[in-house]
Amino acid sequence: MACYKFCRKWTVVIFNLIFLIVGFVLVALGTYWKIKYSHLHAVIPSTYSYYASAPLLLIILGSVIVVISLFGSIGVCRKNPPILTTHTIILLVFFILQIILSGVSFWVLSQDNLRENVYNNVGNLYKSDNNTELINFIQDELNCCGPDGITSIKNMTISAYILKSCHKNHDPTTLAFKDGCKRAVYNFIILTIRGIGTTILALAPIEVVGATLSLSLANAIRNQRRRYGQYLD
């Protein structure tokens, strides 16, 4: 029995520690993405402008997870049933919200006009000399060249300014990137949305387990205090 109580308490502690680490990782990923790929927001269709908020969503999600895990840890350390019960409720509410967010992300993937809009936006970039910096960034980061490959930019007026970034390390002696940037940008957006949706969905069952453990510990503390006047861990 003593081993069972000991294991139940430390299982909750370990769960909160893992959840804390996951939260910090999500904050770091969101921050990195916001700094590194903020330029790509220019090619996101206006009807999908909320995609630009994806890095902020990761930061908020990670921050909330960190706060929840710390809150649960306080409940364990203080052996406080109300805090542990509140922790359980917060986890379940968060679980429901994540299911909704995950559903929204996969709904976005099902929209037929997303590909067409992204392709049009990327194609329009190559029609103006003012977009050379953004084009070079996209070609460098996504290893692509031109809207539809290197042959699609040879007759463009801006080709002299963007041709170098069609090669790895801007070395013209290397082969140009094969993929066009229309496809590369679209695939990047799809993979990002799918990754966020999958991550949120993967966290959901973990939260249910954590909520169950937290509630179980809260009930154990209440029962022992009712019987013995204190929790014997």
Domain contains 193 = no
Domain contains 150 = yes
Asked whether residue 93 falls in the same domain as residue 172, the answer is no
Asked whether residue 105 falls in the same domain as residue 160, the answer is no
Q: Say how far apart CA 161 and CA 192 lie, in whole Å.
A: 29
Asked whether residue 16 falls in the same domain as residue 105, the answer is yes
Asked whether residue 118 falls in the same domain as residue 176, the answer is yes
Asked whether residue 107 falls in the same domain as residue 15, the answer is yes
Asked whether residue 219 falls in the same domain as residue 105, the answer is yes
Q: What is the pLDDT along the chain (233 residues), one digit of tens a residue?
A: 445 556 777 888 888 888 899 899 989 988 988 887 777 777 776 666 666 677 888 898 899 989 999 998 898 888 888 888 998 999 888 888 888 878 877 777 676 677 888 888 898 888 888 888 888 989 998 999 999 988 888 777 777 778 889 998 888 888 889 999 999 998 988 888 888 888 888 888 888 888 888 888 888 888 877 776 655 45
Q: Say how far apart CA 119 and CA 113 lie, in whole Å.
A: 10
Q: Say how far apart CA 202 and CA 74 lie, in whole Å.
A: 25
Within 8 A by CB and 6+ apart from 22, the residues are 62, 65, 203
- Which whole-number Å values give the CA distances from 224 to 3, 10, 56, 72, 219, in the listed order? 15, 17, 44, 20, 9
**How many structural domains does the chain have?**
2
User: What are the φ/ψ torsions at residue 48 (nearest 5 degrees)?
Assistant: -120, 30
The confidence score (pLDDT) of residue 2 equals 47
What's the burial of 86, exposed, middle or buried (CB within 10 Å: 0-12/13-18/19+)?
middle
The confidence score (pLDDT) of residue 111 equals 66
- Tokens standing for 229? 């006047």
Domain contains 190 = no
Task: Give the length of the chain.
Answer: 233
CA triple 203-206-208, angle to 5 deg: 115
Asked whether residue 103 falls in the same domain as residue 124, the answer is no
Domain contains 58 = yes
Asked whether residue 82 falls in the same domain as residue 17, the answer is yes
Assign 3-class secondary structure to the chain. Answer: CHHHHHHHHHHHHHHHHHHHHHHHHHHHHHHHHHHHCHHHHHHCCHHHHHHHHHHHHHHHHHHHHHHHHHHHHHHHHCCCHHHHHHHHHHHHHHHHHHHHHHHHHHHHHCCCHHHHHHHHHHHHHCCCHHHHHHHHHHHHHHCCCCCCCHHHCCCCCCHHHHCHHHEHHHCCCCCECCCCHHHHHHHHHHHHHHHHHHHHHHHHHHHHHHHHHHHHHHHHHHHHHHHHCCCCC
Residue 56 sits in which domain range? Answer: 2-112+200-228
From the list 87, 32, 60, the residue with the least C-alpha distance to 200 is 60
Domain contains 189 = no
Asked whether residue 134 falls in the same domain as residue 60, the answer is no
Asked whether residue 97 falls in the same domain as residue 172, the answer is no
Residue type, 158: I
Asked whether residue 156 falls in the same domain as residue 221, the answer is no
The confidence score (pLDDT) of residue 151 equals 87
Domain contains 130 = yes
- Tokens standing for 114? 């997303």
Domain contains 192 = no
User: Count of CB atoms within 10 A of residue 125's CB?
Assistant: 21
Domain contains 187 = no
Asked whether residue 102 falls in the same domain as residue 126, the answer is no
